[in-house]
């Protein structure tokens, strides 16, 4: 019998609703707090910064299913369903009895899963009469996705790109500009937040936290301009559940069900996106599945951070969020997986980790690229440096299956391709990349600062 390599859904079978795991969680995430009054936030409190519908989705703990607007679903058809792929090549390279599957989000027009939420966010902004959107971007993936989505729905986009990425990844900037966005390296002199940081440290290479502060400041000071975020927030992860909902149907076509589900972890949106639809069977029916978040060892909020209220950005403009965090002043090393360099985890995944529904592993930079190169040779796809972390975690699970002779079913999310990250691969292949060891003191110092928040 011939073996199926890739599983697709017909356009008609693309899901019509996103899955809101908050409705099914036994312990709901604790509320975001106003930093001054420490009062729980209501959706209205978020309206000045975010589109109203997104603000409502953010705090919605009751509706299990949220309709995907028809206009967004029409745009999903440009690249969805994404293929579920059986990684025969990788299985063979590892000589493992495990069955390895990956969901290939790299086939989106912008090369990553980020477009799933960008389209939804741009749509709601347009519908509410917004004309301009702004955001930050690290590796450039989110900025690229938002720039395209803004163009689709007729909005102007202004993107603050973390300076180190702006310099390391000039092609991402070109792509954003090709879609018509205005791109600024962050920290910049165009905002008070940027000026403050540059005054203290003129050579600062930037971080997601700083870029967030700049974008929020622009949104607050510009009429008809809303801020958008590509990760961390609950409404972003909600939109990403399209990944897991498709995968659920596609695994059924393959006649299997995953024992282990893996996603790389920046703020949690692609991990939650692939995991949550399956996790509902764990919560509601007690189905035994392991959910593994793979984070970089240089930014280990899940494995070495603390569950505490903290700011989402460096300048302290955001509400206080109950999250696993390394402290909002934590400055991660300049690893190539720019999309994973963020100090905190979203409130849903943070609660799930606290409740033992999921686990986390940390992956060193060299191990991630080693796994990425193995995958590239075996499957012919160059993975994004971020996605390499998920691959590394999948490889180590598959090796464990080999040692124990277990035929487990492993599913991981390939969050993006790395075709615009070849500088990173060049450096890895030339032997110029290093691992980063964080001491407990490095971590404790930043955690002490949030003790009284
Ligand atoms: C942004 C990004 C990530 C990390 O963000 P999450 O919200 O944790 O998913 C991972 N992979 C790629 C390719 C990205 O662009």
**pLDDT per residue as tens digits for the range 253-269:** 999 999 999 999 999 99
Residue 22 lies in a domain: no
Atom 13 (ligand 1): residue with closest C-alpha? 416
Which is higher by pLDDT, 315 or 359?
359
Q: Using a 6 Å cutoff on CB, does residue 270 contact ligand 1? A: yes
> Domain boundary at 213, 233, 253, which?
233
Residue 209 lies in a domain: yes
* List of residues 6+ apart from 179 with CB closer than 8 A: 144, 147, 148, 150, 151, 157
Q: Using a 6 Å cutoff on CB, does residue 205 contact ligand 1? A: no
The ligand 1 atom nearest the CA atom of 267: 8
Residue 184 pLDDT class (50, 70, 90 cuts): very high
Region of 114 please: left (phi>0), alpha (psi -120 to 50) or beta. alpha
Atom 2 (ligand 1): residue with closest C-alpha? 339
Q: Using a 6 Å cutoff on CB, does residue 105 contact ligand 1? A: no
Residue 317 has pLDDT above 90, yes or no: no
> Domain boundary at 233, 256, 277, which?
233
pLDDT given at position 333: 87
**Same structural domain for residues 190 and 338?**
no
Say how many domains are in the chain.
2
Q: Using a 6 Å cutoff on CB, does residue 386 contact ligand 1? A: yes
> Domain boundary at 172, 205, 233, which?
233
pLDDT given at position 164: 85
Residue 246 has pLDDT above 80, yes or no: yes
**Same structural domain for residues 215 and 248?**
no
Ligand 1 mean position, distance from CA 339 (Å): 5
Residue-number span of the structural domain to which 215 is assigned = 54-66+114-233
Q: In what order do the strands lie in the sheet with 156-162?
A: 182-186, 156-162, 132-137, 225-227
How many whole angstroms separate alpha carbon 411 and alpha carbon 278?
11
3-state secondary structure 144-203: HHHHHHHHHCCCEEEEEEEHHHHHHCHHHHHHHHHCCCEEEEECCCCCHHHHHHHHHCCC
Exposure letters 250-273 (e unless 16+ CB within 10 A, then b): bbeebeeebbbbbbbbbbbbbbbb
**Same structural domain for residues 163 and 95?**
no
Q: What is the mean pLDDT of residues 224-252?
A: 97
Which CATH number does the domain housing residue 101 bear? 3.40.50.1100
How many whole angstroms separate alpha carbon 367 and alpha carbon 301?
19
* List of residues 6+ apart from 178 with CB closer than 8 A: none
Q: In what order do the strands lie in the sheet with 260-264?
A: 6-7, 84-86, 99-104, 409-414, 260-264, 290-296, 359-363
pLDDT given at position 210: 86
Half-sphere exposure of 287 (CA within 13 A, CB side): 18
pLDDT digit string (tens) for 103-158?
999 999 999 999 999 999 999 999 999 999 999 988 899 999 999 999 999 999 99
- Nearest 5°: the CA angle 22, 139, 232 is 15
> Percent of the chain, pLDDT > 90?
89
Residue 13 lies in a domain: no
Q: Contact, 270 vs 243, CB < 8 A?
A: yes
pLDDT given at position 352: 98
**Same structural domain for residues 342 and 307?**
yes
Ligand 1 mean position, distance from CA 263 (Å): 9
How many whole angstroms separate alpha carbon 343 and alpha carbon 313?
9
Ligand 1 mean position, distance from CA 222 (Å): 28
Atom 1 (ligand 1): residue with closest C-alpha? 339
Q: Which of 117, 118, 141 to mutate to test the pocket of ligand 1 (most atoms within 8 A of CB)?
A: 141
Atom 15 (ligand 1): residue with closest C-alpha? 141
Residue 224 pLDDT class (50, 70, 90 cuts): very high
Residue 301 to residues 138, 341, 350, Cα–Cα distance (Å): 17, 10, 10
pLDDT given at position 318: 86
pLDDT digit string (tens) for 14-29?
999 999 999 999 999 9
Atom 5 (ligand 1): residue with closest C-alpha? 266
pLDDT given at position 1: 64
Q: Where is average pLDDT lowest: 5-19, 210-224, 330-344, 381-395?
A: 330-344
pLDDT given at position 170: 87
User: Which of these, 259, 263, 255, 231, lies nearest to 102 by C-alpha position?
Assistant: 263
Q: Which of 105, 107, 113, 343 to mutate to test the pocket of ligand 1 (most atoms within 8 A of CB)?
A: 113
pTM reported for the whole predicted model: 0.96
pLDDT given at position 139: 80
How many whole angstroms separate alpha carbon 363 and alpha carbon 353?
18
Residue 317 to residues 48, 192, 217, 335, Cα–Cα distance (Å): 13, 12, 8, 26
Q: Using a 6 Å cutoff on CB, does residue 384 contact ligand 1? A: yes
Q: Which of 106, 110, 264 to mutate to test the pocket of ligand 1 (most atoms within 8 A of CB)?
A: 264
Return the number of other C-beta atoms located less than 10 Å from residue 97's C-beta: 14
**Same structural domain for residues 267 and 181?**
no
pLDDT digit string (tens) for 345-360?
999 999 999 999 999 9
**Same structural domain for residues 182 and 274?**
no
How many whole angstroms separate alpha carbon 267 and alpha carbon 370?
23
**Same structural domain for residues 147 and 251?**
no
Residue 67 pLDDT class (50, 70, 90 cuts): very high
Residue 452 pLDDT class (50, 70, 90 cuts): confident
Q: Which of 340, 341, 360, 390 to mutate to test the pocket of ligand 1 (most atoms within 8 A of CB)?
A: 340
């Amino acid at each position: 019998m011939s073996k199926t390599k890739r599983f697709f859904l017909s356009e008609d079978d693309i899901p019509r609703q996103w899955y809101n795991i908050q409705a099914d969680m036994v312990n709901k995430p604790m509320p975001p707090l106003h930093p001054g009054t420490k009062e729980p936030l209501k959706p209205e409190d978020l309206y000045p910064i975010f589109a109203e519908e997104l603000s409502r989705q953010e705090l919605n703990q009751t509706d299990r299913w949220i309709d995907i607007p028809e206009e967004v679903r029409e745009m999903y058809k440009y690249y969805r369903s994404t293929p579920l792929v059986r990684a025969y090549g990788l299985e063979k390279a590892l000589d493992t009895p495990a069955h390895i599957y990956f969901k290939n989000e790299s086939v989106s027009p912008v090369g990553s899963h980020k477009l799933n939420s960008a389209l939804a966010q741009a749509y709601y902004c347009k519908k509410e009469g917004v004309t301009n959107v702004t955001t930050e971007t690290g590796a450039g993936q989110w900025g690229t996705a938002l720039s395209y989505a803004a163009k689709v729905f007729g909005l102007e986009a202004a993107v603050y790109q973390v300076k180190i990425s702006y310099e390391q990844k000039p092609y991402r900037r070109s792509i954003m500009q090709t879609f018509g966005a205005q791109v600024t390296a962050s920290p910049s002199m165009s905002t008070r937040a940027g000026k403050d940081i540059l005054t203290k440290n003129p050579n600062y290479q930037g971080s997601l936290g700083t870029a967030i502060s700049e974008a929020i400041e622009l949104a607050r000071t510009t009429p008809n301009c809303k801020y958008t975020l590509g990760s961390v927030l609950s409404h972003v992860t909600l939109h990403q559940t399209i990944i897991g909902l498709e995968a659920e149907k596609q695994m059924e076509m393959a006649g299997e069900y995953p024992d282990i589900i893996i996603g790389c972890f920046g703020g949690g949106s692609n991990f939650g996106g692939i995991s949550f639809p399956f996790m509902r069977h764990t919560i509601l029916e007690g189905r035994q599945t392991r959910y593994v978040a793979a984070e970089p060892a240089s930014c280990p909020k899940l494995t070495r951070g603390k569950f505490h209220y903290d700011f989402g950005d460096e300048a302290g403009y955001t509400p206080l969020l109950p999250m696993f965090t390394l402290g909002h002043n934590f400055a991660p090393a300049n690893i190539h997986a720019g999309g994973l360099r963020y100090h905190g985890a979203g409130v849903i995944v943070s609660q799930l980790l606290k409740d033992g529904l999921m686990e986390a592993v940390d992956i060193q930079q060299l191990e991630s690229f080693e796994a990425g190169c193995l995958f590239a040779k075996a499957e012919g796809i160059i993975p994004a440096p971020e996605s390499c972390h998920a691959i590394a975690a999948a490889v180590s699970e598959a090796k464990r299956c080999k040692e124990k002779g277990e035929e487990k079913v492993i599913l991981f999310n390939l969050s993006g391709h790395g075709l615009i990250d070849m500088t990173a691969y060049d450096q890895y292949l030339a032997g110029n990349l290093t691992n980063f060891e964080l001491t407990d003191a490095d971590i404790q110092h930043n955690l002490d600062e949030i003790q009284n928040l």
